[in-house]
Structure 1
Amino acid sequence: MPNKQIVIVGAGPAGLACAEILSELGDYDITVYEQKPSAARKFLMAGKTGLNISHVEDLDIFISRYDHAEWLRPMIELCNAETIQAWMKGLGIESYIGSSGRIFPNEMKAAPLLRAWLKRLQQRGVKFFYRHQVMRMNSLELTVLDLSHQQQHTLKADAIILACGAVSWPQLGSDGQWQHWLDPCVIQPFSASNVGVLVKWSRYLQPIFGQPLKRIKAWAEGQTPQYGEMVISHYGLEGGLVYRCNRDLRETMKTQKSTILYLDLLPDWDQTQILHKLQQGKKQSLNTLWQKIGLDKTKIALIRDVVSKADWNDALKMAQHIKQLVIQIHGLRPVEEAISCVGGVRLEALDKDLMLKNSPHIFACGEMLDWDAPTGGYLLTACLATGRWAGAGVHQRLNAPEKS
């Protein structure tokens, strides 16, 4: 009896994780189609400055970082940080835990890990077809275009796994074309996540564009302040701390044109301490005084740009501004610039195995599903976890006893 034919569309982390688990679970003919010339291009781009693949922290806290935490919980419990480190080691890639709890390969880069991963998959018989673009999907039949020779062919599979990515960084392959293959009712429209926010700076702030705001806290209205840093850019603010506030800012802006991001510029001091220091230094210039209480040149420039000049010499008002600086946010940068997206295949359109309820034996995984997470290893972890889960789901479905 011939082996079951399994097609995976997309050679990113989720698709590769799916291929890997299937190659372990059964004797399948597994084929991966990728429209780009090579695998996992976004994965490689993300790893250029250091591949943060997961994060070591209490599992409940880790899972709480996701917007659909309980839905993802069983998948991440089976593909947690410890599991990922062991998997990397099995590929010959040693890892280390940074001071912030983030997990990196010792070499920092993504390329050695990807090479080892692809080599193992190929040794297990997984076939890869690059520069092959899926044009149409009709049930378990796919029309694929060979981009190198501009030839189309049709193929049938026993199961199809869509691991096509979302719509951020489309130049790397995640262009969202797969949305045309599915019923629109199963797709939640995409919007940006982990992306910069728009602020209307004055021209006087231009000299500090690109400078970081270090050791601060930030929060949206009604949310818990989070510690970290961000960067002042020509369009507003970017960086890890503001990305962690994206979800709350985005929700507010669904019903209004702008919202507020609050910054605590001196989180190690309380307002009373700051007020006392400001009152003691009345004879000093403002710049000298502000520097003495711990504000660097970037923070001072920011204060001068957003705080009314009438408040600068009022110690009480300045202490309040320093602890709760109001930044007016006018929007988010385009989704194409985002590190990740929220939106995609609706979770209620999937069964417990990540199979589309209205399309038997068609599964979906990775960033094309409607879940959201901050940067810091959470995105990659969920891609690996949903890929493995979908692969296990395919195996279970293909081997389930037929109902009489």
Structure 2
Amino acid sequence: EARQAADAAEQGETRREFLKELIGQGKPPQAGWTEHFASRFAGQPFKSVAIHFTDSQGRTFSRKGEFVATATGVEGSLIYAVSSLLRDEIAAHGSATFLLDLLPDKSPEQVLVEVRHPRGSRSLSSHLKSRLNLDGIKAAMLYELLDKEAIADPVQLAAGIKALPVRVLAARPIDEAISSAGGVMFEGMDAQLRVKMPEGAGQPVFCAGEMLDWEAPTGGYLLTACFASGRAAGQGVLSHFGL
């Protein structure tokens, strides 16, 4: 039991240091939007989009929803849901790239047909708005991340609309986090969320909520888990003291 407690503590410390190093740098110097994009679209949401991501270990994520562009990157429900995979990929390889589908309700073939439709004297922006209802931050994202050659080529543009590569380089600092990863590992606790300690180590320690090594995709799930684990730990305390 003493060895198990020591191993759990060592693993927890290693994970804590890894996460501290990962988020401690804040925004890398080579990251961020162009000044034009950040000044016009920071704080605006991407609605009805989808994110697809496969990491270097073959783990996949695919979900429709929404997120928000910030002055330094991206945040919001879709980003929170995929954040643990992105974080691990960044730690392993220095960056992670997810694919952003700007029109998840249309097939690639449908998008290509509309992009190729003759636009006459209309600008490309007007054409995309008219044929695909693609404007605002979604259209701006294409100009932000695709080069001029891709924008001018209907095939590459249509591919970008359906699978736009978005590269992320770091998590934001811990003081900006809604919730944090890491904590006391479940292997180091019993079924009542009591930390496994050697005999004579003192009063028992029970853990709950963000003390645990558990991640939630959104704040709502996090609160639910905090309440549930708090109740479980409380019952463990009552049971331990025979109350």
State which structure, 1 or 2, has the greater radius of gyration over its C-alpha atoms. 1
Divergent runs of 4+, >4 A: 182-187, 196-199
Greater fraction strand: 1
8 Å Cα contact 1:186-1:349 kept in structure 2: no
Q: 1:376 Cα shift?
A: 5.0
Unaligned stretches of 5+ residues in structure 2: 1-7, 21-25
5+ residue gaps, structure 1: 1-181
Deviation of the 1:183 alpha carbon: 5.5
Cα pair 1:350 1:357 within 8 Å, conserved: yes
Shift of 1:223: 2.0
Contact 1:365–1:387 at 8 Å: present in 2 too? yes
Partner of 2:47: 214
Q: What is the DSSP-based 3-state SS (H/G/I as helix, E as strand, rest coil) of the residue aligned with 1:355?
A: coil
**Could you tell me which residue of structure 1 aligns to residue 228 of structure 2?**
385
Q: What RMSD, in angstroms, separates the aligned Cα atoms of the two structures? A: 2.3
CA deviation string 1:149-202 (max 9, x = no partner): xxxxxxxxxxxxxxxxxxxxxxxxxxxxxxxxx95555441748xxx9985212
TM-score normalised by the chain length of structure 1: 0.50
SS in 1 for 2:180: strand
| 2-structure distance, mates of 1:203, 1:215 | 25
* Residue aligning to 1:310: 149
Corresponding residue to 1:327 among 160, 166, 191: 166
Question: Which structure 2 residues correspond to residues 283-294 of structure 1 after superposition, within 5 A?
Answer: 283=120, 284-292=122-130, 293-294=132-133
Matched ranges for 1:1-400 at <5 A: 186-187=12-13, 188-189=15-16, 191=19, 199-205=31-37, 206-221=39-54, 223-283=60-120, 284-292=122-130, 293-358=132-197, 359=201, 361-399=204-242
Cα 1:329–1:185 shift into 2, 3 Å: closer
CA contact (8 A) 2:12 2:182 kept: no
Residue 32 of structure 2 contacts residue 71 of structure 2 at CA under 8 Å; is this kept in 1? no
Paired letter, 2:210: E
| Counterpart Cα distance in 2 of 1:273 and 1:185 | 50
SS at 2:66's partner residue? Answer: strand
TM-score (norm 2): 0.82
Q: Which amino acid aligns with 2:187?
A: E
Instruction: Give the counterpart letter for 2:129 in structure 1.
Output: Q
Which amino acid in the other structure matches residue 231 of structure 1? V
Structure that is richer in helix per residue: 2
Count of aligned residue pairs for this structure pair: 216
1:86-141 deviation per Cα after TM superposition (whole angstroms, max 9, x unaligned): xxxxxxxxxxxxxxxxxxxxxxxxxxxxxxxxxxxxxxxxxxxxxxxxxxxxxxxx
1:282 CA displacement: 3.8
Do 1:197 and 1:238's aligned partners in 2 also have CA atoms closer than 8 Å?
no
CA distance in 1, matches of 2:125, 2:179: 39
Call closer, same or farther: CA 1:353–1:343 in 2, change over 3 Å.
Answer: same
Q: What is the SS of the residue equivalent to 1:224?
A: strand
